[in-house]
């Protein structure tokens, strides 16, 4: 089983972002084991995937989520998480930290619930539009991420840019076209979507190839995939 594949035949303008996310999640499957805690799980789209490797999956989210919640444990991630110290073998959190007004507390809590010599697997956006407003507070550079993770106690920090310039610009352009057509009368929605379909498709096919021209992905990538270890 692959990670979340909800993009197939559904998100014609942005399937590439799902493909990229799945790639990095699958790349680190050796880290998913024991009791896996998914902080900000939302609808828990990766639960079945993680249970191929972990013995137990625990989704954590708050009651005010804009998604249909599939949380096993209800906690506000800006505050204390309702889990015991050293209770998780792996902690994952994808596209969540930008929505937290207290990220330092979140990282401190993720560290507290992790067992010694276990890993936090994190993804955050960088060059990305405002979403789920008004609960969209921050964007993080690799330097900011490293500072916050070290402050929380993490070591062996690895921060991976998820794309180059061309993928970033292609996806931003595709999202702009979607916003544009949704401002127009509904009678024009589907005809224009059909007109834009070749642009969306061709751009997403070509962008990862053109990214090879970009030698410094972290400057304008869509986001970062982060691995950090608790060693004490």
Residue 64: per-residue pLDDT: 72
101 and 193 both lie in a single domain: no
The helix (H) or strand (E) run that includes residue 161 is strand 155-161
Residues 32 and 77 in one domain: yes
Q: What is the pLDDT of residue 189?
A: 83
Same domain as 26, residue 119: yes
**Whole-prediction pTM:** 0.93
Q: What is the DSSP letter of 95?
A: S
Q: Which stretches of the chain score pLDDT less than 70?
A: 5-10
How far is the C-alpha of 39 from the C-alpha of 17, rounded, in Å? 20
Give the integer Cα–Cα distance in Å for 155 and 157: 5
10 in a domain, yes or no?
A: no
What pLDDT shows up at residue 6? 54
Dump pLDDT digits (tens) for 183-197.
888 888 888 889 999
Task: Identify the three-state secondary structure at position 216.
Answer: coil
pLDDT at 56: 98
pLDDT of residue 188: 84
Q: What is the span of the domain harbouring residue 198?
A: 166-212
Residues with Cβ within 8 Å of residue 156, at least 6 apart in sequence: 227, 228, 229, 231
Distance CA(123)–CA(197), nearest Å, equals 28
Whole-angstrom distance, CA of residue 64 vs CA of residue 76: 9
Q: What is the pLDDT of residues 212-226, one digit of tens each?
A: 999 999 999 999 999
Pairing of strands 223-230, 114-125: antiparallel
Residues 145 and 53 reside in one and the same domain: yes
Is residue 8 in a domain?
no
Res 133: pLDDT: 92
Largest Cα–Cα distance in the chain? Answer: 60
**Rounded-to-integer distance, Cα 28 and Cα 32, Å:** 8
107 with 198, same domain: the answer is no
DSSP classification of residue 175: H
160 bridge partner residues: 225
């Amino acid at each position: 089983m692959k990670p979340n594949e909800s993009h197939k035949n559904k998100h014609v303008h942005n399937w590439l972002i799902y493909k990229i996310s799945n790639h990095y999640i699958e790349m680190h499957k050796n880290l998913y084991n024991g009791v896996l805690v998914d902080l900000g799980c939302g609808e828990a789209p990766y639960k079945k995937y993680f249970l191929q490797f972990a013995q137990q999956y625990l989704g954590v989210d708050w009651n005010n989520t804009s998604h249909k919640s599939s949380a096993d444990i209800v906690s506000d991630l800006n505050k204390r998480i309702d889990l015991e110290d050293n209770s998780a073998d792996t902690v994952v959190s994808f596209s969540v930290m930008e929505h937290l007004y207290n990220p330092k507390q979140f990282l401190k809590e993720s560290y507290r619930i992790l067992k010694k010599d276990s890993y936090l697997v994190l993804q955050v956006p960088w060059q990305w539009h405002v979403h789920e407003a008004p609960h969209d507070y921050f964007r993080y550079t690799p330097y900011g991420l490293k500072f916050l993770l070290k402050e929380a106690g993490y070591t062996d920090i690895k921060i991976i840019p998820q794309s180059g310039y061309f993928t970033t610009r292609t996806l931003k352009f595709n999202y702009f076209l979607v916003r544009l057509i949704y401002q127009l009368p509904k009678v024009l929605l589907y005809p224009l979507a059909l007109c834009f379909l070749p642009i969306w498709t061709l751009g997403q096919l070509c962008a990862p190839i053109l990214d090879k021209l970009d030698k410094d992905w972290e400057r304008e990538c869509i986001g970062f995939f982060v691995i950090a270890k608790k060693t004490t």
